[in-house]
Structure 1
């Protein structure tokens, strides 16, 4: 049944509702993790990521009201990423997690959003909705690249 669901294309409104739910789930994951972390820098990493999710959610909700993504803010092309989620194995955070672990957690959550939008885009291939999901996917790749760049700057050996 889930394979049929992945291949289904949504109406514009249903697609936006699904995206709002996914963004809200990401926001809630960040919020829950922030509440249990003791390390201030780790909380700050997640705070910035949570605020990005909130911005996405609000843009999608505005699109439900206005009938279009505001100013077509989403990007036209995907941004290449390093795929650090395959190297970093931080999927849950303990209260003692540091900023590196929080960043790895955020990278995994962004990768989840990318996977979601890729599946939605593929399910709507050839339909007008595919373009919306492509733009949302491209915007998520930008967020993932920003997180990976931060990880590289602060935590990779050559730096």
Structure 2
């Protein structure tokens, strides 16, 4: 996805950009599923791909409805450990394991968070700002779940 500055687009253009970003995430996870053989790694990518499809579906419904429905609970990003700074994003191989799969997924989710942060900041005060904040919160929750899983299984103190 091309870099955007702190600008806001029309409602439809902003949703289209977000939909494309979610589709790119889905395609990245789908490609990862076609590469790795490890059962745990495949499960990580399968769940992440399904999450991206759900986001894309929510965004497409938003185009029809003119607003995002549901999800009233979580509108603030949750804190994460920022493991993307310490984990290398490596090219996936057929023998990539769950540890490498989690690192890969953490980096993809961080990219989504960065996108929604830019969009919500650029659209501050516009009607779609709330939508991007909700998507940012949801993506941060996904990242937190991936980081928690990584911590439970792969960090030294555990």
- TM, length-normalised to structure 2: 0.92
- State the Cα RMSD in Å: 1.6
Distance 1:148 1:100 in 2: 11
Distance 2:84 2:73 in 1: 23
Q: How does 1:9-48 map to 2 (within 5 A)?
A: 9-48=8-47
For the structure 1 residues 34 and 74, does the alpha-carbon distance in structure 2 shift closer, same or farther, using more than 3 Å as the test? farther
Q: How does 1:68-87 map to 2 (within 5 A)?
A: 68-73=67-72, 75-87=74-86
Task: Tell me what 1:94 maps to.
Answer: 93
Structure 2 residue ranges without an equivalent (≥5): none
Distance 2:26 2:11 in 1: 22
SS in 1 for 2:76: coil
Q: 1:83-104: per-residue Cα shift (whole Å, max 9, x none)?
A: 0000100242122100100011
Task: Tell me what 2:113 maps to.
Answer: 114
Q: Is the 8 A contact 1:76 1:135 kept in 2?
A: yes
- TM, length-normalised to structure 1: 0.92
Distance 1:59 1:40 in 2: 29
Task: Tell me what 1:8 maps to.
Answer: 7
Q: How does 1:146-157 map to 2 (within 5 A)?
A: 146-157=145-156
Q: Is the 8 A contact 1:82 1:145 kept in 2?
A: yes
The structure with the largest helix share of the pair is 1
Distance 2:123 2:103 in 1: 31
Task: Tell me what 2:60 maps to.
Answer: 61
Structure 1 residue ranges without an equivalent (≥5): none
Aligned residues: 157
